[in-house]
Structure 1
Amino acid sequence: MIRNSLDGLESLVSAARTDVKACPRMLSAVHRHLRTKKLPRELFISTGAPSATARLMASCLDGLRVALYWSNRKHKDLSERVMQQWIVAWDWLSFMADQVVSKEPQSVEGTEFQYKVVEVVADLHRLAAFESQGTAYEVEVLNMPGFFSTLVRLWFHMLCHGGSPAALRGISHSLIVFNSIDSDNMENFRLAIREVDLVLQDMPDAASLFITHILGTIEVNAINMRLLNGPLTLMAYALDFHSDYIICPFIACYGPTLVTALMARLTSSKLTYKLGNIEDKKLDKHIQGNMAESCFVLCIKLLEICIRMRGLPCVVQILQGRLLPTCFKAALFLGHRSRPFHENVGVLCCALFRKIATFSIYPKVMHLVIKSNRHLEAHGLKALVELTVPELWTSWNTLYDTVMQRHTTKPSYSVLPRRLCNNPQCPNPYIRPIDAKRCAGCLYVHYCSRECQKDHWTSHRQKCKSLMSTRKAGKPMRVNNLDQDFAEWMVDLDLPRFLADTKEIRQRLEEKRAMTEPYKKYPMVIEISYNSVPTKLGRVYPGEEARTTGIGRMPEVMAILERRRGHLNEVFFYAALPSGKGPGSECICTTVSL
């Protein structure tokens, strides 16, 4: 065997794949080639087949992958040898990835080689990211220009052009390297992350390809979990760090429905796994079961991100997707496994239930929670969870009790005339909420009649288009005026309790500012937060101090308070409501005369 030949190298790699003792000799040969071989100008020769140098490059990279595989099996010395050559190896990796994306092979041989390159490059990315964690090479690996973006480009290339199942499975699974991105350490590889943004911006069809892949994976009888974990990790990265880019608004808009469908599939009693072509089927089933559990945890985290981004519309979507019954089924599904109900799943589900409880101040959420309760009772899920997962049961009771307490006031609210007609020229804007007519375009404003809506259309047209585009783009949205009015009704019902609870502290504060001239005084301010359950009493302070507090950064709120200066027989309430981040944040400001 010629030591430097392609056949000789492939033989060494093949031997190392089954015997770790063959790795040192194989790595010596790989390092020799890395030092001496130059990058070819073309990966494929004119006939569309790979060149001899390209084959040698692929075998070298495959050898590095094999060494990192064994390193993961507690042979850390091999990882050190690979990382010493990482800069040169990365040049080869990035060149081959660029060639695969930019060139179409013209032969069967070239196509098969392309699939092999994709599989090797993706696997080497994943292993290098995880084997370098906590070592001196971590930043060097992750900070390589194009490290993350190369994976994204290859994955979307495979989705667009098709590929072997093994290559698609390999690169999909390798996307879990996005777990390596630490928000506290992003400065070390900001350029590498920025390149991912550019890839996503240049792919207007990225989101639709992504969703098609997820749905195609879960709609088959047997699921291959290796096709799901990586893409969901990429989705979490996109939502968490880059909400302004093309893929993120689309996923933020449709993601909750997609994720709840996936969660329902993962907790189905009929769930089976597509086992790989390995000898130990039982082991592969166990591995994919662990992946399913990790995937479920990731789904809950994704929903938390979506709620943080979009607020009420997202909560409505996930409840319509039967999230609550799915979480109950997850407790039973994971409870049948070899270990108890995963603590992370339990903690995350409880936190999600508490978050949903804060949104129960809106009628849509109340209705959907009550509907979910009927489903739980019909399928006997409540009694089973009460016995097996008491923490989840407690969180559910908190959510349901909060909903029912607020729901009891809804009949009274529905029949009382409220100022709801959005037409400022309406002669009688006070109508019963059950009679309100909603704009079918923006879904935000309401009218007393279709005639009033037509009269106001000229003024409302531009705002309607703006609100419609916001909804379709998946951006933070304001709560519609009927839901907002019901929330105001709920706040008004709570005000007497907070007045009584703050009586003593308000008296003490009044004594401290007794020497202040009356015309300089503002009403006492009471802050209430509906972002927790039960509703939390915040700060109480004289209105003169408002500019140095949180509401001082809100011009609209300060303008309302400014108009109340000198009204010393009033109390000014600021109630923060649950909502998405950004301009859609909701609050209610009202005054009560003493």
Structure 2
Amino acid sequence: MPTPMDSLQLLNNLSRNILRARPGEVTPETLSPIFPHLDSARIPTRVRPSSADRVQVQLGICALLVVTACDIHLHDDPVLVARILEPDGWPCIWKWIHFLHDKFIVGDAYGATAYASAVNAIGRTLQALGRATASRAVVTGTPGVITLVTKRWLHDGGHGREGGSPYMPPGENGRTFANALTSLLNSEGGGRPDSVMPQVLDAANGDTKLIATTALGQLREALAMESTYLILLHLSLVNCLSDTTHPHLHIALLDEGTIPTVIQVLSWCNARPLHKASASLMLLCHSNIIVAFNSINGPLWVVQALNSGFLPALLRSGNFLHRVDHPFIVSLLTSMLSELLLQHLIFRSILRAVRRALKQVEKQNVGTAAASGVLWDVWTQFKARAEERLCLLDAWDTAGGRHKHRICNQVNCQQEDDQMTKLCSGCFGPMYCSKACQRLDWPVHRERCKASRKLLQDGLRARLDDGDLSFIRFIVDGEIRRRLPGVVKDARTKGVSLNMLVLEFDFSAVPMDFRVKDIFDYEVDPIPDHDGDLQDILRRAVDSGGESMAARTLIPQGEMSASLVSLIDIELFLDASATT
């Protein structure tokens, strides 16, 4: 029978061999030596551990480290995963993890020197088991796992261990549990039960701000250290936590500055030498921003991104990608400019941010073919379209739009320069030229701010700014004047009554899609209206005796669309068409 020292040597050699093994060389038989040492009956139960207990704990930890050595092999080997999930595998592993946590991390029965060993064994084991879809589903579905990892991450990663540990570098335990949590929260392959994110929230006692500040604080610290590995780790965790199916947490992260922080990471990445990790960072940055843009109140986050330097950073990414072969990221960034940002040029607030962003691009000289690299062609198209819409914005201003909807929301402010205005940080609605104006307007704005903020936090659509609505109607009125004569001529040729038709302008499509639809196409419609009730407008059109018809405008609101509906006075618009 082997001595404890022989067993320790065997387990250590096994870990080293697995780390050097090629894909397919690690089999269930390879792991057979670890399972006797993981037997839960071997977990010490004495209050004061004996020498034999300490040896048994060493063997248990070494057995866990063999599992961690299987990290990359678990990802592609379902047979190996199935073996670890058998009754003498994961159920026993979890009991060992629970024991190490209670006795080594929370308690100190085994002395301070054991703390680092426990943190390493727990964190790396759970990280490895999170790699494969099947094992991740089982591990995260085990009661207590997510709670334990989240609490340790929040405690150690956010504030450090009480009293400190001379055996762990500062923040190292936080990084270990951040790695474990990132691996377990990964939804790739669908191996994450729906109950996982609620468990994360419960572990923080529902404090979404604590989760957000911890995650973003770690990311900012990593950025300050200029460590590519740590930035990649903490950005991955931020992306995992940015789950739009849990809007309270997603909004908390956005509130705490996810977008400006991610853009800082993107700018840092653009300035670094070519590296495989840089491409991964770039993909994570843009993926995070796309999730925000596609959330239900996406236009708010588009404004924040543009005001935080996103456009220059995006163009510099094009220059970076010009030197590497990464077609997926090129496709992602191309669609960002040619579709996602382009479809948002219907909003006045976004156009004002675009105007400022274009000046940043010009000042930083990144809008050239040399600077924007693979994005040059799509950038020139975006810029041309943006300048067209900015001309319409100027026309709206000239027609009284700016006068009716002030630059600064403070009623007595006469500010006409919108370069220094900032959104209310509470509801991201009204804009103010200064903190002084915001304080003066707060008694008036308070209730609406609270109501809008609750909608944001609950993942509900916030009301569009009055200025945005006015500008959208201004654009649509121009489209109606341009298209109505042709519609009238075609309808009369076919003998169709105009009040039975609906003009539909879909600005969520790029380019804008115009359709003439039958009124009966709208008997059942799932798209919410921002102003006016669609069915009421349709009834009024039918009852008008041919004098009016309905118009509907679809506008982007994240991955969905919202609509504006209006009743058109046909003769009035035809007269306006004749004079333009």
Is 2:579 the counterpart of 1:593? no
User: 523, 528, 540: which one pairs with 1:547?
Assistant: 523
**Separation (CA, whole Å) in 2 of partners of 1:418 and 1:329:** 35
How far apart are 1:105 and its partner, in Å? 3.8
**Helix, strand or coil at the partner of 1:537:** strand
Aligned positions of 1:375-414 closer than 5 A = 375-385=360-370, 388-389=373-374, 392-414=375-397
**Separation (CA, whole Å) in 1 of partners of 2:422 and 2:327:** 44
- The residue number in structure 2 matching 1:530 is 507
**Separation (CA, whole Å) in 2 of partners of 1:509 and 1:549:** 27
Aligned positions of 1:61-140 closer than 5 A = 61-66=64-69, 68-69=70-71, 71=73, 81-84=83-86, 85-96=88-99, 98-99=101-102, 103-105=106-108, 110-130=111-131, 132-133=132-133, 139-140=137-138
Paired AA for residue 319 in structure 1 = L
- The residue number in structure 1 matching 2:329 is 345
Is 2:349 the counterpart of 1:364? yes
- The residue number in structure 2 matching 1:206 is 211
How far apart are 1:181 and its partner, in Å? 1.8
- The residue number in structure 2 matching 1:235 is 238
Paired AA for residue 324 in structure 1 = L
**Helix, strand or coil at the partner of 1:37:** helix
Q: TM-score, normalised by structure 1?
A: 0.75
**Helix, strand or coil at the partner of 1:574:** strand
Paired AA for residue 347 in structure 1 = S
- The residue number in structure 2 matching 1:157 is 155
Is 2:314 the counterpart of 1:330? no
Conservation of the 8 A alpha-carbon contact between 1:442 and 1:465 = yes
Paired AA for residue 376 in structure 2 = W
Tell me: CA distance 1:144–1:383, structure 2 relative to 1, closer, same or farther (3 Å): same
**Separation (CA, whole Å) in 2 of partners of 1:458 and 1:233:** 41
Give CA deviations for 1:49-70 in whole Å, capped at 9, x if unaligned. x95544333222112222x147
Conservation of the 8 A alpha-carbon contact between 2:294 and 2:558 = yes
Conservation of the 8 A alpha-carbon contact between 2:40 and 2:92 = no
**Separation (CA, whole Å) in 2 of partners of 1:401 and 1:240:** 34
- The residue number in structure 2 matching 1:268 is 271
- The residue number in structure 2 matching 1:280 is none
User: 31, 37, 43: which one pairs with 1:33?
Assistant: 37
How far apart are 1:364 and its partner, in Å? 3.4
Conservation of the 8 A alpha-carbon contact between 1:414 and 1:433 = no
Tell me: CA distance 1:413–1:357, structure 2 relative to 1, closer, same or farther (3 Å): same
How far apart are 1:12 and its partner, in Å? 2.0
**Separation (CA, whole Å) in 2 of partners of 1:261 and 1:139:** 34
- The residue number in structure 2 matching 1:290 is 276
Conservation of the 8 A alpha-carbon contact between 1:152 and 1:196 = yes
**Separation (CA, whole Å) in 2 of partners of 1:523 and 1:177:** 56
How far apart are 1:439 and its partner, in Å? 11
Paired AA for residue 245 in structure 2 = H
Conservation of the 8 A alpha-carbon contact between 2:502 and 2:552 = yes
- The residue number in structure 1 matching 2:477 is 492
**Separation (CA, whole Å) in 2 of partners of 1:36 and 1:469:** 48
How far apart are 1:307 and its partner, in Å? 1.4
Give the root-mean-square deviation of aligned CA atoms.
4.4
**Separation (CA, whole Å) in 1 of partners of 2:536 and 2:101:** 57
Paired AA for residue 229 in structure 1 = L
**Separation (CA, whole Å) in 2 of partners of 1:116 and 1:297:** 34
User: 168-177 or 522-531: which moved more?
Assistant: 168-177
For structure 1, list consecutive stretches of 5 or more residues without a partner in the other structure. Answer: 272-285, 424-428, 448-452, 515-520
**Separation (CA, whole Å) in 2 of partners of 1:489 and 1:466:** 28
Paired AA for residue 215 in structure 2 = F
User: 568-577 or 408-417: which moved more?
Assistant: 408-417
**Separation (CA, whole Å) in 2 of partners of 1:352 and 1:401:** 16
**Separation (CA, whole Å) in 2 of partners of 1:233 and 1:224:** 12
**Helix, strand or coil at the partner of 2:566:** strand
Conservation of the 8 A alpha-carbon contact between 1:250 and 1:473 = no
Give CA deviations for 1:48-91 in whole Å, capped at 9, x if unaligned. xx95544333222112222x147369898765654444333432
**Separation (CA, whole Å) in 2 of partners of 1:175 and 1:576:** 40
**Separation (CA, whole Å) in 2 of partners of 1:370 and 1:421:** 20
Aligned positions of 1:190-201 closer than 5 A = 190-201=194-205
How far apart are 1:266 and its partner, in Å? 1.4
**Separation (CA, whole Å) in 2 of partners of 1:153 and 1:119:** 16
Tell me: CA distance 1:578–1:139, structure 2 relative to 1, closer, same or farther (3 Å): closer
**Separation (CA, whole Å) in 1 of partners of 2:116 and 2:460:** 38
Tell me: CA distance 1:302–1:575, structure 2 relative to 1, closer, same or farther (3 Å): same
- The residue number in structure 1 matching 2:177 is 171
Give CA deviations for 1:123-144 in whole Å, capped at 9, x if unaligned. 22232232x44x7x67545543
Paired AA for residue 178 in structure 2 = S
Paired AA for residue 589 in structure 1 = S
Identity across the alignment (%): 15
Conservation of the 8 A alpha-carbon contact between 2:537 and 2:550 = no
Aligned length: 535
Paired AA for residue 491 in structure 1 = V
Tell me: CA distance 1:197–1:396, structure 2 relative to 1, closer, same or farther (3 Å): same
User: 564, 568, 571: which one pairs with 2:549?
Assistant: 571
Conservation of the 8 A alpha-carbon contact between 1:418 and 1:433 = no
Conservation of the 8 A alpha-carbon contact between 1:311 and 1:580 = yes
How far apart are 1:300 and its partner, in Å? 1.0
Paired AA for residue 499 in structure 1 = L
Conservation of the 8 A alpha-carbon contact between 2:181 and 2:237 = yes
Tell me: CA distance 1:551–1:335, structure 2 relative to 1, closer, same or farther (3 Å): closer
Is 2:208 the counterpart of 1:223? no
Conservation of the 8 A alpha-carbon contact between 1:319 and 1:369 = yes
Tell me: CA distance 1:319–1:178, structure 2 relative to 1, closer, same or farther (3 Å): farther
Conservation of the 8 A alpha-carbon contact between 1:570 and 1:591 = yes
